Homo-oligomer: A and B are copies of this chain.
Amino acid sequence: MKLLHIVPVTGDVITPGMLEFLAEPLDKDTVLVTEQIKKGPASIECGYDEALASPPILEICGQAKELGCEGIFINCFGDPAVEAARELVDMPVFGGFVPGALIASGLADRFTIITVLDNVVRMIHSNIAKLGLSSKLGSVRVVNMPVLELGHQDELYRQLTIQSIKAVEEDGAQAILFGCTGMIGGTQTIYNGLLEKGYDIPVIDPAQTSVKMIETCVKLGIKPSRMTYLPIPDKERV
Protein backbone atom coordinates (compact mmCIF):
# COMPACT_ATOMS: atom_id res chain seq x y z
CA MET A 1 0.00 0.00 0.00
CA LYS A 2 1.19 3.51 -0.79
CA LEU A 3 0.43 6.41 1.53
CA LEU A 4 1.02 10.04 0.66
CA HIS A 5 3.12 11.80 3.28
CA ILE A 6 2.81 15.56 2.94
CA VAL A 7 5.37 17.80 4.58
CA PRO A 8 3.32 20.96 5.02
CA VAL A 9 6.20 23.37 5.59
CA THR A 10 8.99 24.75 3.43
CA GLY A 11 11.71 24.45 6.03
CA ASP A 12 14.55 22.00 5.63
CA VAL A 13 12.97 19.42 7.92
CA ILE A 14 12.94 16.14 6.02
CA THR A 15 15.65 13.86 7.31
CA PRO A 16 16.28 10.17 6.78
CA GLY A 17 15.70 9.76 10.50
CA MET A 18 12.25 11.27 10.25
CA LEU A 19 11.23 9.04 7.37
CA GLU A 20 12.55 5.94 9.11
CA PHE A 21 10.74 6.95 12.26
CA LEU A 22 7.42 7.26 10.42
CA ALA A 23 7.88 3.93 8.65
CA GLU A 24 8.74 2.08 11.86
CA PRO A 25 5.25 0.92 12.86
CA LEU A 26 4.07 0.30 9.30
CA ASP A 27 3.83 -2.95 7.42
CA LYS A 28 6.83 -3.81 5.30
CA ASP A 29 4.87 -3.38 2.10
CA THR A 30 3.52 0.01 3.05
CA VAL A 31 5.35 2.80 1.25
CA LEU A 32 5.35 6.45 2.23
CA VAL A 33 5.46 8.78 -0.77
CA THR A 34 6.84 12.02 0.62
CA GLU A 35 5.94 15.37 -0.95
CA GLN A 36 6.80 18.77 0.45
CA ILE A 37 5.00 22.03 -0.21
CA LYS A 38 7.04 24.54 -2.21
CA LYS A 39 5.35 27.70 -1.03
CA GLY A 40 4.38 28.62 2.50
CA PRO A 41 5.85 28.98 5.97
CA ALA A 42 9.12 27.37 7.02
CA SER A 43 7.21 25.82 9.93
CA ILE A 44 3.66 25.88 11.28
CA GLU A 45 3.38 27.61 14.63
CA CYS A 46 0.19 29.63 14.43
CA GLY A 47 -3.08 29.95 12.58
CA TYR A 48 -1.49 32.32 10.11
CA ASP A 49 1.08 29.68 9.13
CA GLU A 50 -1.68 27.14 8.78
CA ALA A 51 -3.66 29.39 6.46
CA LEU A 52 -0.64 29.99 4.22
CA ALA A 53 0.25 26.32 4.08
CA SER A 54 -3.23 25.06 3.29
CA PRO A 55 -3.55 25.78 -0.46
CA PRO A 56 -0.25 24.09 -1.37
CA ILE A 57 -1.12 21.15 0.91
CA LEU A 58 -4.40 20.75 -0.93
CA GLU A 59 -2.66 20.94 -4.26
CA ILE A 60 -0.54 17.94 -3.31
CA CYS A 61 -3.58 16.12 -1.93
CA GLY A 62 -5.16 16.49 -5.33
CA GLN A 63 -2.34 14.36 -6.78
CA ALA A 64 -2.76 11.51 -4.32
CA LYS A 65 -4.68 9.29 -6.67
CA GLU A 66 -2.38 9.66 -9.66
CA LEU A 67 0.52 8.98 -7.30
CA GLY A 68 -1.19 5.69 -6.54
CA CYS A 69 -1.75 6.52 -2.89
CA GLU A 70 -4.64 5.18 -0.83
CA GLY A 71 -4.33 7.47 2.18
CA ILE A 72 -2.78 10.79 3.18
CA PHE A 73 -0.82 11.87 6.22
CA ILE A 74 -0.45 15.63 6.60
CA ASN A 75 2.57 15.79 8.85
CA CYS A 76 1.54 18.42 11.39
CA PHE A 77 -0.20 18.22 14.77
CA GLY A 78 -2.43 21.19 13.92
CA ASP A 79 -4.23 19.15 11.25
CA PRO A 80 -3.82 21.90 8.62
CA ALA A 81 -6.17 21.50 5.65
CA VAL A 82 -7.26 18.06 6.84
CA GLU A 83 -10.96 18.83 6.68
CA ALA A 84 -10.70 20.48 3.28
CA ALA A 85 -8.63 17.56 2.01
CA ARG A 86 -11.35 15.14 3.10
CA GLU A 87 -13.73 17.10 0.87
CA LEU A 88 -11.28 17.01 -2.02
CA VAL A 89 -10.20 13.38 -2.01
CA ASP A 90 -12.10 10.23 -1.18
CA MET A 91 -9.65 8.37 1.05
CA PRO A 92 -8.40 8.39 4.66
CA VAL A 93 -6.72 11.71 5.50
CA PHE A 94 -5.30 12.49 8.91
CA GLY A 95 -2.95 14.98 10.45
CA GLY A 96 -1.34 14.24 13.80
CA PHE A 97 -3.99 15.60 16.12
CA VAL A 98 -7.07 13.43 15.72
CA PRO A 99 -5.38 9.99 15.87
CA GLY A 100 -3.22 11.06 18.81
CA ALA A 101 -6.13 12.49 20.77
CA LEU A 102 -8.29 9.43 20.07
CA ILE A 103 -5.72 6.88 21.17
CA ALA A 104 -4.88 8.92 24.28
CA SER A 105 -8.59 8.93 25.19
CA GLY A 106 -8.66 5.17 24.80
CA LEU A 107 -5.78 4.59 27.20
CA ALA A 108 -6.35 7.14 29.97
CA ASP A 109 -9.12 9.26 31.48
CA ARG A 110 -7.19 12.50 31.27
CA PHE A 111 -4.22 13.47 29.16
CA THR A 112 -1.95 16.44 28.63
CA ILE A 113 -0.69 17.66 25.27
CA ILE A 114 2.82 19.11 25.27
CA THR A 115 3.48 21.33 22.29
CA VAL A 116 6.08 23.79 21.06
CA LEU A 117 4.93 27.36 21.69
CA ASP A 118 2.08 29.26 23.34
CA ASN A 119 1.00 30.37 19.87
CA VAL A 120 -0.54 26.99 19.02
CA VAL A 121 -2.41 26.43 22.28
CA ARG A 122 -5.57 28.05 20.92
CA MET A 123 -5.55 25.79 17.86
CA ILE A 124 -5.25 22.70 20.01
CA HIS A 125 -8.20 23.76 22.14
CA SER A 126 -10.19 24.43 18.96
CA ASN A 127 -9.34 21.01 17.61
CA ILE A 128 -10.26 19.20 20.81
CA ALA A 129 -13.56 21.09 20.98
CA LYS A 130 -14.36 20.09 17.41
CA LEU A 131 -13.50 16.48 18.21
CA GLY A 132 -15.81 16.63 21.25
CA LEU A 133 -13.13 15.40 23.67
CA SER A 134 -12.55 18.50 25.81
CA SER A 135 -13.51 16.57 28.94
CA LYS A 136 -10.48 14.32 28.51
CA LEU A 137 -7.91 17.08 27.97
CA GLY A 138 -6.34 17.96 31.30
CA SER A 139 -4.03 20.67 30.01
CA VAL A 140 -1.86 21.91 27.17
CA ARG A 141 1.76 22.67 28.02
CA VAL A 142 4.66 23.99 25.96
CA VAL A 143 8.38 23.28 25.82
CA ASN A 144 8.84 26.80 24.50
CA MET A 145 11.01 25.73 21.57
CA PRO A 146 10.27 26.72 17.96
CA VAL A 147 9.68 23.85 15.56
CA LEU A 148 12.90 24.52 13.70
CA GLU A 149 14.93 23.96 16.88
CA LEU A 150 13.41 20.58 17.70
CA GLY A 151 16.49 18.97 16.17
CA HIS A 152 18.24 19.72 19.46
CA GLN A 153 16.95 16.47 20.80
CA ASP A 154 18.72 16.48 24.15
CA GLU A 155 17.19 19.82 25.04
CA LEU A 156 13.85 18.78 23.58
CA TYR A 157 13.69 15.55 25.57
CA ARG A 158 14.83 17.37 28.71
CA GLN A 159 12.03 19.91 28.34
CA LEU A 160 9.45 17.27 27.44
CA THR A 161 10.37 15.31 30.55
CA ILE A 162 10.10 18.38 32.77
CA GLN A 163 6.72 19.33 31.36
CA SER A 164 5.45 15.75 31.48
CA ILE A 165 6.24 15.47 35.16
CA LYS A 166 4.56 18.82 35.82
CA ALA A 167 1.56 17.64 33.81
CA VAL A 168 1.17 14.67 36.14
CA GLU A 169 1.83 16.52 39.36
CA GLU A 170 0.01 19.77 38.69
CA ASP A 171 -2.64 18.94 36.07
CA GLY A 172 -3.54 15.36 36.91
CA ALA A 173 -2.34 13.99 33.57
CA GLN A 174 -2.62 10.23 33.19
CA ALA A 175 -1.13 10.14 29.68
CA ILE A 176 1.12 12.40 27.63
CA LEU A 177 0.55 13.24 23.97
CA PHE A 178 3.27 15.12 22.11
CA GLY A 179 1.71 18.17 20.49
CA CYS A 180 4.00 18.38 17.48
CA THR A 181 4.76 15.77 14.86
CA GLY A 182 8.34 17.03 14.79
CA MET A 183 9.07 15.80 18.33
CA ILE A 184 10.59 12.66 16.96
CA GLY A 185 11.79 9.64 18.83
CA GLY A 186 11.37 10.78 22.41
CA THR A 187 8.54 8.64 23.73
CA GLN A 188 10.69 6.00 25.40
CA THR A 189 13.00 8.57 27.00
CA ILE A 190 10.13 10.59 28.42
CA TYR A 191 8.31 7.41 29.50
CA ASN A 192 11.42 6.40 31.43
CA GLY A 193 11.74 9.83 32.97
CA LEU A 194 8.17 9.61 34.22
CA LEU A 195 8.64 6.06 35.42
CA GLU A 196 11.58 7.11 37.57
CA LYS A 197 9.17 9.39 39.38
CA GLY A 198 6.75 6.50 39.79
CA TYR A 199 4.40 7.60 37.00
CA ASP A 200 3.73 4.67 34.66
CA ILE A 201 1.70 6.32 31.93
CA PRO A 202 1.60 6.13 28.14
CA VAL A 203 3.65 8.66 26.18
CA ILE A 204 2.19 8.95 22.71
CA ASP A 205 3.82 10.07 19.49
CA PRO A 206 1.20 11.58 17.18
CA ALA A 207 3.03 10.99 13.91
CA GLN A 208 3.52 7.25 14.28
CA THR A 209 0.01 6.90 15.68
CA SER A 210 -1.40 8.72 12.69
CA VAL A 211 0.37 6.85 9.89
CA LYS A 212 -0.61 3.59 11.56
CA MET A 213 -4.25 4.69 11.84
CA ILE A 214 -4.31 5.65 8.16
CA GLU A 215 -2.86 2.26 7.21
CA THR A 216 -5.48 0.62 9.43
CA CYS A 217 -8.34 2.51 7.78
CA VAL A 218 -7.12 1.46 4.34
CA LYS A 219 -6.92 -2.15 5.48
CA LEU A 220 -10.37 -2.03 7.04
CA GLY A 221 -11.77 -0.34 3.96
CA ILE A 222 -13.13 2.69 5.82
CA LYS A 223 -12.71 6.36 5.01
CA PRO A 224 -14.05 9.74 6.18
CA SER A 225 -17.80 10.14 5.86
CA ARG A 226 -18.96 11.83 2.68
CA MET A 227 -21.95 13.13 4.63
CA THR A 228 -19.64 14.95 7.03
CA TYR A 229 -17.18 15.99 4.33
CA LEU A 230 -19.22 16.49 1.17
CA PRO A 231 -17.52 16.53 -2.23
CA ILE A 232 -16.62 20.09 -3.23
CA PRO A 233 -19.11 21.83 -5.51
CA ASP A 234 -17.98 22.77 -9.02
CA LYS A 235 -17.34 26.46 -9.58
CA GLU A 236 -14.75 28.91 -10.81
CA ARG A 237 -11.71 29.19 -8.58
CA VAL A 238 -9.20 31.68 -9.99
Contacts and interface: CB of A to CB of B under 8 A. Distances in A.
Contacts of A52: 54-55, 58, 237
Contacts of A174: 225, 227-228
Contacts of A129: 129-130, 132
Given A208-B220, A212-B216, A108 B202 contact: no
A235 interface: yes
A209 B220 contact: yes
Nearest to A148: B235
Interface in A90-126: 92, 94, 98-99, 102-103, 105-110, 117-119, 122, 125-126
Given A209-B220, A236-B41, A225 B107 contact: yes
Interface in A118-169: 118-119, 122, 125-126, 129-136, 146, 148, 168
A232 B46 contact: yes
Number of this chain's copies in the complex: 6
A199 B200 CA distance: 37
A202 B224 contact: yes
A230 interface: yes
A129 B109 CA distance: 11
A224 B87 contact: no
A227 B203 contact: no
Contact of A225 (B102, B175, B223): B175
B220 A43 contact: no
B226 A201 contact: yes
Contacts of A84: 46-48, 50-51
A86 to B, nearest CB: 8
Contacts of A55: 51-52, 54-55
A108 B49 CA distance: 20
A173 to B, nearest CB: 8
A213 B108 CA distance: 15
A181 interface: no
15 contacts: A42-B235, A42-B238, A51-B51, A51-B58, A55-B55, A105-B131, A107-B217, A108-B227, A108-B228, A109-B122, A109-B125, A122-B229, A204-B222, A208-B220, A216-B216
